[in-house]
Structure 1
């Protein structure tokens, strides 16, 4: 059971009726002797921030995911703090801090590579959405015409802050003053039942911030929770609100979904709740027509390999993920472009067309998009391995990623005529064996695509035409 250490000790608290907890502003308070959260499990830097805020006369709580993860016997990576101190007051207390954000004003306290995020208690905006923030240059209205929050800097109490959090499992506050846990919305009960429940009316909360739909999927995948029925019901209909989210923010959310160790389950849930199309629209379109199932297998293999690397504490990069997710659309455009140009420029053109569409949705940084195009380009070049070309390709900085991508395509069921095996053997051979392999490797059949399927290349049998020479000498006139 998830709650081995806490279930018995707080059972009497979990049975209390807290349906009206937010209205009455009365949290369930679990004292230190009745919960398993220990300061030994909390970052020393987070404790330093908590103690300094308290010694300065402010309220200070460790809040959200870190408390939830400790209760679930997970190792939290981030430690967030909520306080009644305003951002400018927090900034004055810590010389190693920075004020960040406009829509949501925060303080980041830096301890080397670790950042402790400190947020001031938030309250709801006035219903008339009059300007209430003091930050220069902010929009005069608190919400857009779709109901999305444009700024969120109305400060309030801890009770008001809890009511504004997204899910009940994230509305847990650990008090540094007496080490108790304050539960404002049956979060402990929902954690025990492995249920993800939205605080407040889900449709309104999604309208305030459509990214909460992606967060619902991400937390359900990460925690192996079920999304409560009322929380998931509006998602398919309201998913289109994600079209209003800046592409840079959606790129960040995509990384959280697919690079946190639960990519496979995230993909399955995104498809189930009809949200994948708002992150990878062209890939989703092809998935709906994917009768052989190759595209789905390619994405699932990519997700599984990524999850495995993270589990083994190996580095991962969005380059490989985006290259795999977008590759089927590149192949489709490639076939179309080869009717007008040779294979190499056709592939370059296809790659650019796909990336130009994707960056409108998720703003892929140039350093990533350049590397993605190199991996795609090498899918064709890795076939041309005769003579010195094999040795030159082996030294290419993107060779390893391109080789892994070849293996991934074969793993998903694409027929590449043993290309992955050849390159595996080539890398594992001595110099003499490499020379023999390279000398025996022939050129790929002209007009043949990497999947092994022939293309209608109009250049295939095209011969050069030469202007006939005149047999008679030119006149000297």
Structure 2
């Protein structure tokens, strides 16, 4: 109570004077209503017909201005969540911190939010660090624009008039390739520390330079990310990694001193020449797939980012005398447990990561029935893709990758030939098996995985 009283007396910002927004016509911005999704147009027209204000807002307008196709659409309106819900049969109110409405139209989901009031420290519910926990005070469009994080995200497009409403010179900032924060950056980062990560992601994705006033406090305020729930941090990390510019994003994270709150082991990884090459290849591959609109796997990408730390722990345990296979699984658990304290990696994704890692030593065995069993594994393709990355990084010979590719696509006779061509290290195991087992007996030699 004392803290809030002092903040109220000494730090309460003066009320911003009212100012008219810039109304930018289609002749200047070039966005026609036909470029919007049918669902977004329908939501806006339905709300407007009932007397409410309604605009496509934020990222969709920004992306259209820079020539990109929006992946989703948000609508801001003067209607309350309950009023929006009453107008659309296929809709639902969601959210705790901010109540919003999801309106479903065919395969699309439009996120509809009510204009929010200007926020100050004493009116919002915050934690001891200033992070906003709950605030559902509704306001007008000008206040809503002030509440948004960056000027390029505070753009409102009216499909009815094809006009952009711009309160904070966001269109000019896009033209000048500048990412600028609305309001005092330090205050905005305290309200929501994830904005620091969002600044890095948007700058890389849009090719915008972060305004010095917004960049300067980041390194100092990076510890605030410690107070962000792990699940939310993980969601933001996925957005960053699958932005199509993940390599640039991670490089910028390190430059701004933010990576410690996300991937604490990233420094250890990239400081190793082989590890840096491996991570770079993985990120480049992910960016290429995103840009080509191909499927991407969180499990696969996190497996690549953390592999060299697993490799280091595995080798350390084997050197201490631990059996190879148990040592690998202990190393996997140790690395993932270290990440779990920062990122709420879901159980499903963690399982995918472990499956990919566990397959790697099995690729060393190219004799007997082992190859037949391996190519039948559900995660074989992901494991082979991971193996190829290791070869491209110089960790293992590319010959190993080529052999498995030929074996997987060969007929039965060709596979027999490939087994006969197995490298010398596999031959003794095959001979021992023939001497020790009766003809036709099934079995597999004890696992002795070795890492390149």
Measured in 2, the distance between the counterparts of 1:25 and 1:340 equals 72
CA distance in 2, matches of 1:167, 1:426: 53
SS at the partner of 1:281? Answer: coil
Corresponding position of 2:450: 449
Name 2:301's counterpart in structure 1: 321
| Counterpart residue number, 1:303 | 283
1:229 aligns with 2:230: no
Residues 127, 245 of structure 1: alpha-carbon distance in 2 compared, 3 angstrom cutoff: closer
Residue aligning to 1:202: 185
Contact 1:91–1:98 (CA under 8 A) maintained in structure 2: yes
Question: Which of the numbers 104, 108, 116 marks the counterpart of 2:110?
Answer: 116
Which residue is 1:28 aligned to? 22
Q: Does 1:254 align with 2:248?
A: no
Aligned to 2:12: none
Give the 5 Å matches for 1:20-419.
23-129=17-123, 142-287=125-270, 289-290=271-272, 293-338=273-318, 339-416=320-397, 418-419=399-400
Distance between the aligned counterparts of 1:177 and 1:429, measured in 2?
A: 60
The number of residues matched between the two structures is 418
Q: Which moved more, 1:154-163 or 1:22-31?
A: 22-31
Deviation at 1:32, TM superposition (A): 3.6
Aligned residue for 1:150, secondary structure, equals strand
Report the CA distance between 1:337 and its aligned residue. Answer: 2.2
> Counterpart in 2 of 1:6?
none
- SS of corresponding position for 2:126: coil
**Range that drifts further, 260-269 or 320-329:** 260-269
**Alpha-carbon spacing, 1:125–1:34, altered in 2? closer, same or farther (3 Å):** closer
**Residues 91-132 of structure 1: CA distance to partner in whole angstroms, max 9, x if unpaired?**
111111110000111100012331100001112335423xxx
> Distance in 1 between the 2:230 and 2:19 partners?
37
Distance across 2 between alignment mates of 1:173 and 1:45: 17
Deviations 1:289-345 (A, max 9, x none): 42xx22221111111111112222221110110000111111121122222421111
2:247–2:283 contact (8 Å) kept in structure 1: yes
Distance in 1 separating the partners of 2:385 and 2:269? 23
Structure 1 window deviating more from structure 2 (298-307 vs 415-424): it is: 415-424
**CA–CA separation in structure 2 for the residues paired with 1:91 and 1:222:** 33
Distance in 2 (alpha carbons) for counterparts of 1:145 and 1:117: 30
CA distance 1:438–1:180, shift in 2 (3 Å): same
Q: Contact (CA 8 Å) 2:362, 2:449: kept in 1 or not?
A: no
Structure 1 residue runs of 5 or longer lacking an equivalent are: 1-20, 130-140, 452-477
CA contact (8 A) 1:196 1:220 kept: yes
* Structure 2 CA distance for aligned equivalents of residues 265 and 241 of structure 1: 23
1:423 is matched with which residue? Answer: 404
Tell me if structure 2 keeps the 8 A contact 1:416–1:450.
Answer: no
Q: Which moved more, 1:442-451 or 1:276-285?
A: 442-451
Distance in 2 separating the partners of 1:152 and 1:267: 32
Cα distance in structure 2, aligned partners of 1:190 and 1:161:
19
Q: 1:11-62: per-residue Cα shift (whole Å, max 9, x none)?
A: xxxxxxxxxx964331111134433111110111111110111111111111
Give the distance between the partners of 2:161 and 2:379, measured in 1 at CA: 54
Cα 1:313/1:32, change in 2 over 3 Å: closer
Q: CA deviation at 1:189?
A: 0.8
Alignment check: 8 A CA contact 1:309 1:315 kept:
yes
- Give yes or no for contact 1:98–1:109 (8 Å, CA) kept in 2: yes
Where 1:24 maps in the other structure, the secondary structure is coil
Unaligned residue ranges in structure 2 (runs of 5+): 1-14, 430-446
TM superposition outliers: structure 1 runs of 4+ over 4 Å:
442-448
